[in-house]
Amino acid sequence: MGKAAEELGVVSGLVRAAFLVNSVYAESAREYGLTPQQGQLLCVLMAQPYGMSELGGVLRLAKSSLTELVDRTAQRGLVKRESDPRDRRVVRVALTERGAELADVFYAETCRRVEELSAGLPEGDRETLGALLGRVVSDNRVPAVFPERDEAPVAARDN
């Protein structure tokens, strides 16, 4: 049957699970030629373009770090800056066609790998784990930086 499950407290369990998910995310990003931050940016932009200040809040990045991330990702042709049609002073960041295609495959593969992490749990335990994590995320107002697999929009293919 395998090794007995290790008993963990909430703090240790959440921290170690975060490390596990981060390592899977980083490995997936590396295989697609992305940094983990670029992968996260692409996944966030799958839903819609964002203004720089709003994007900084979602990704929890300082303005200078966000600017550098967007610059590096734009240089690779994956995102672009565009004017907001409602306010010409606002710059929005959107996926390019190439970025949208990469976001789709990166997102699907990363979801598959993260889902495998709980494959050894019975379905009821997986549902319970999802519900409990949902409460933690909701209680802490974590922005949707990685949409649910069945709710993820197909990335917009605008040039």
The pTM of this model reads 0.82
DSSP 135-146: HHHHHTT---SS
Q: What is the greatest pairwise CA distance in the chain?
A: 62
Residue 15 counted as domain residue: no
Domain that holds residue 124: 21-151
Residue 157: which pLDDT band, with cuts at 50, 70 and 90? very low
Output the six-digit token pair for 33: 């030629």
Residue 16 lies in a domain: no
Which residues partner with 92 through β-bridges? 51, 82
Q: Is residue 8 part of a domain?
A: no
pLDDT at 81: 96
What is the CATH number for 48?
1.10.10.10
* pLDDT averaged over every residue in the chain: 88
Tens of pLDDT, residues 89-129: 889 999 999 999 999 999 999 999 999 999 999 999 999 99
- The number of distinct structural domains making up the chain is 1
The residue ranking higher by pLDDT, 29 or 158, is 29
